[in-house]
Amino acid sequence: MSDFTPPAVVGAPHGDLLPVLRADSDAVGYFAGIADLDATDPASHELEDGVELTSGAPLEQFARAGSGDAFCFVGEGGEERPVVYVSLDGEAGLVALGLPELVTLCLVAPWWQEGAELTGEELRAVADEYRQSVPDFDLRRERAMRALGLEAADLPSEAEALARLVEVSRGPVAEGFVVTGADGDPLAALVAAPADRI
């Protein structure tokens, strides 16, 4: 691993995160409506047959994006399990080392799928465009944070969160989370940019 120090990630001050993401209207409104992480009905989309990890560890879908892309826990356990994102476009990869880290990423940079591959200037343009398209972004995020028992001071900066995404997705730990498609071939890397682009 590099010398990068992971930013602080949100915990679950009032218990597990998934129940909040599935039932609290403010959390659902932000995560499903803005961050494109819908945990309200994970069974509505299932992984394509044959999509699996080369390690043989099980993938458990717990949320989906509007496109049908899947957020999956790896292995057995709870919300501390690594999270792999599987895209219907044939891309996949490790995006977080636990649900708290994914929640942090979505709160700080819900545009993370675009952001990790951009330069600083490009990233600012994407963030500005995103905020313009969701005029009440800050209010909705604040309400979601309140539902999770968080304050803005609990979160890392956008640059830290995206650097962590690149570190997790492209660093040595990611080698243990290679996803193969139905044909048995590895899916393309979800995050392809080197960390020095952040």
CA pair distance 173, 37, nearest whole angstrom: 23
10 domain residue, yes or no:
no
Number of domains in the chain: 1
Q: Domain residues for 34?
A: 18-180
Place of tokens 């490009």: 122
Query: Which among 190, 197, 9, 191 has a CA at the least distance from the CA of 86?
Result: 190
64 domain residue, yes or no:
yes
175 domain residue, yes or no:
yes
5 domain residue, yes or no:
no
132 domain residue, yes or no:
yes
The answer to whether the CB of 65 falls within 8 A of the CB of 186 is: no
Average pLDDT over residues 167-183: 90
pTM of structure? 0.86
71 domain residue, yes or no:
yes
9 domain residue, yes or no:
no
Q: What is the pLDDT of residue 10?
A: 52
27 domain residue, yes or no:
yes
What's at 69, amino acid-wise?
Answer: D
Whether the predicted pLDDT of 94 surpasses 70: yes
- Confidence band for 170, pLDDT divided at 50, 70 and 90: confident
CA pair distance 83, 167, nearest whole angstrom: 14
